[in-house]
């Protein structure tokens, strides 16, 4: 079974219920875990309404709401959701998608396909590649800043080519998730990079290109009302430095120098 975590912070206005229910019918064997991260609006009521409607429409629907008493940020909220999901012995895959559905939930089927087709794959990342045949609607400024960010991170920290580290849609096998979500994250918004670093350390004797698969998304739409604040952007270079340091230490501890 796939456990799909959706972190929600003050999503009462932005959350598109119609869109959510249009996906739900097609997704069998998916357990939705909404993590309400200390929202101060009516997100709690919205999620409860969704849960009841989903059950009314389909008694087998699986929707869980985790209410965190205070706001801990996306990284910690996703981690809470994943740790909760891993307690279920039926869990084969865990995944997280943003609540604005910039990545449509229907993409999850492609994620599962690519991981099932090759059992060396442990992680699938949605990748916003603008190419013929895909519909990636992203503002020019975000596209270009994203490309610069990815290039810097690839060259300085990861030393491998990941086209899109920051896409909010990812899936992991149980075995991988049990390891990489064990420890809390350093950063609120760069935890995707921390996850990649943890994967590098965990599978250091294997070919990382076979472990991580980037799935080009068919559709991705920028939804606006981003919750990343300017203050968060300013913190990113220092957080990247901390992640880099931690990576070096973790490799040293495991006997490998970078």
Ligand X SMILES: Nc1nc2c(ncn2[C@@H]2O[C@H](COP(=O)(O)OP(=O)(O)OP(=O)(O)O)[C@@H](O)[C@H]2O)c(=O)[nH]1
Smallest separation (angstroms) from Mg ion to the CB of 225: 8
User: Is the CB of 100 or the CB of 192 nearer to Mg ion?
Assistant: 100
| Helix ranges (DSSP H) in the chain | 17-24, 43-57, 74-86, 107-117, 140-153, 174-180, 191-202, 208-211, 230-253
**Contact between 100 and ligand X per CB under 6 A:** yes
For 34, the enclosing helix (H) or strand (E) is strand 30-37
Match 């599978």 to its residue by tokens. Answer: 203
Of Mg ion, ligand X, none, which one sits near residue 11, judging by CB under 5 to 8 A according to partner kind? Answer: ligand X
Question: What pairing do the DSSP bridges indicate for beta strands 169-173 and 2-8?
Answer: unpaired
Question: What pairing do the DSSP bridges indicate for beta strands 93-97 and 169-173?
Answer: antiparallel
Smallest separation (angstroms) from ligand X to the CB of 33: 12
Of ligand X, Mg ion, none, which one sits near residue 212, judging by CB under 5 to 8 A according to partner kind? Answer: none
Count of residues interacting with ligand X (CB under 6 A): 19
Dmax over Cα atoms in the chain, in whole Å? Answer: 55
Token pair of 228, please?
A: 């990343």
Stretch in the footprint of ligand X (CB under 6 A) among 198-206, 210-218, 225-233, 235-243: 225-233
Could you list the beta-strand ranges (E) of 98-137. 123-127, 135-137
Q: Phi and psi (nearest 5°) for 5?
A: -90, 130
Interface residues with Mg ion (CB under 5 A)? 100, 102
**Contact between 226 and ligand X per CB under 6 A:** yes
Q: Pattern of binders to ligand X over 18-57, x per CB under 6 A?
A: -----------------x-x--------------------
**If we measure between CA atoms, which residue out of 68, 98, 85 comes closest to residue 6?**
98
The answer for residues whose C-beta is within 8 angstroms of residue 144's C-beta and 6 or more apart is: none
Smallest separation (angstroms) from Mg ion to the CB of 77: 15
Stretch in the footprint of ligand X (CB under 6 A) among 19-27, 46-54, 72-80, 176-184: 72-80
Residue from 3, 91, 102, 127 binding ligand X (CB under 6 A): 102
Within 159-198, the residues that bind ligand X by CB under 6 A are 168
Check: CB of residue 140 under 8 Å from CB of residue 163: no
Residue from 19, 160, 228, 242 binding ligand X (CB under 6 A): 228
- Contact residues toward ligand X (CB under 6 A) are 7-9, 11, 35, 37, 71, 73-74, 77, 98-100, 102, 168, 222, 226-228
């Amino acid at each position: 079974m796939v456990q799909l975590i959706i972190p929600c912070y003050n999503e009462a206005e932005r959350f598109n219920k119609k869109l959510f229910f249009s996906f739900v019918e097609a997704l069998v064997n998916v357990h939705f875990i909404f993590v309400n991260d200390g929202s101060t609006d009516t997100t709690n009521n919205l999620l409860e309404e969704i849960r009841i409607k989903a059950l009314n429409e389909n008694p087998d629907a699986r929707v869980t709401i985790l209410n965190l008493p205070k706001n801990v940020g996306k990284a910690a909220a996703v981690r809470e959701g994943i740790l909760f999901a891993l307690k279920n012995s039926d869990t084969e895959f865990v995944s997280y998608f943003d609540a604005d559905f910039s990545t449509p939930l229907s993409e999850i089927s492609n994620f599962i396909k690519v991981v099932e087709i090759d059992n060396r794959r442990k992680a699938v990342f949605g990748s916003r590649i603008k190419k013929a045949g895909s519909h990636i609607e992203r503002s020019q400024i975000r596209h270009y800043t994203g490309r610069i960010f990815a290039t810097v991170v690839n060259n300085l920290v990861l030393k491998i080519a990941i086209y899109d580290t920051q896409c909010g849609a990812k899936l992991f096998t149980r075995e991988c998730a049990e390891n990489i979500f064990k420890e809390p994250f350093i950063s609120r918004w760069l935890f995707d990079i921390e996850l990649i670093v943890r994967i590098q350390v965990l599978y250091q004797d294997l070919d990382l290109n076979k472990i991580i698969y980037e799935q080009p998304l068919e559709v991705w739409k920028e939804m606006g009302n981003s919750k990343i604040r300017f203050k968060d952007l300013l913190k990113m270079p220092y957080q990247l430095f901390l992640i880099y340091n931690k990576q070096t230490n973790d490799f040293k501890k495991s006997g490998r120098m970078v």
